[in-house]
Copies of this chain bind each other. A is one copy, B any other.
Amino acid sequence: MTARTPSETARDIPEATVARLPVYLRALTSLSEAGTSTCSSEALAASAGVNSAMLRKDLSYLGSYGTRGVGYDVDYLRYQIAREIGVTQDWPVVIVGIGNLGHALANYSGFRSRGFRTVALLDADPARTGETVAGIDVRPFDDLEGIVAEHGVAIGVIATPAPAAQAVADRMVAAGISSILNFAASVLTVPAGVDVRKVDLSIELQILAYHEQRKAQDQQQEETA
């Protein structure tokens, strides 16, 4: 069963490492634009805000792209990471729910520059349909299946109110989308093989509030001590 074809690079990069690769990629792009051609793990780790040992271990999962005593070639490493993540090719993306957040996302240029191309903006509200945001027409949600098939869309973004999110996700999955980025504050249930990542602003704020409260308590305790 375990066919194990050691075709190109060995797979199985740890999830925590995958989450940091884009940060390294960004740091390398920065360095490259600043004209730096070579950098040490120490320098790159500082740019990325991590420990240098962790950086080296992360990079070692991709292969041996550094030179001992010298460091890493910025552009070469940048290409290798980009290839590993898969952003050397363009990924078509659809955004569903063109309200406050959907508008911001559609207008966000960081998308395009990092290998993601917004091919459609969809909304269920007929009043929204026909509007043009960032040069792209807002189309009815029912166009989803056609657009996904036409462009081979694999990644969908949900920016609808929470109650609509599960239904939208179901339609996306049925249409053939297998990766979803969810901004709605709700837990999505999807079949195996479909990846979901969530971004929840209010959760982030609550985590900050917890630590803030702790700081206040600690300070109070010091005062009474």
A149 within 8 A of B: no
A174 within 8 A of B: no
Asked if B114 contacts A202 (CB within 8 A), the reply is yes
Asked if B207 contacts A110 (CB within 8 A), the reply is no
Q: How many copies does the complex hold?
A: 2
Given known A105-B201, A108-B100, contact A181–B193 (CB-CB < 8 A):
no
Given known A86-B213, A104-B104, contact A208–B187 (CB-CB < 8 A):
no
A34 within 8 A of B: no
A164 within 8 A of B: no
**Residues of chain A whose beta carbon lies under 8 Å from any beta carbon of chain B:** 3, 5, 7, 11, 13, 18-19, 21-23, 25-27, 47-49, 84-87, 91, 93, 100-101, 103-105, 107-108, 110-111, 114-116, 154-155, 178-181, 185, 187, 189, 193, 195, 197, 199-215, 221, 225
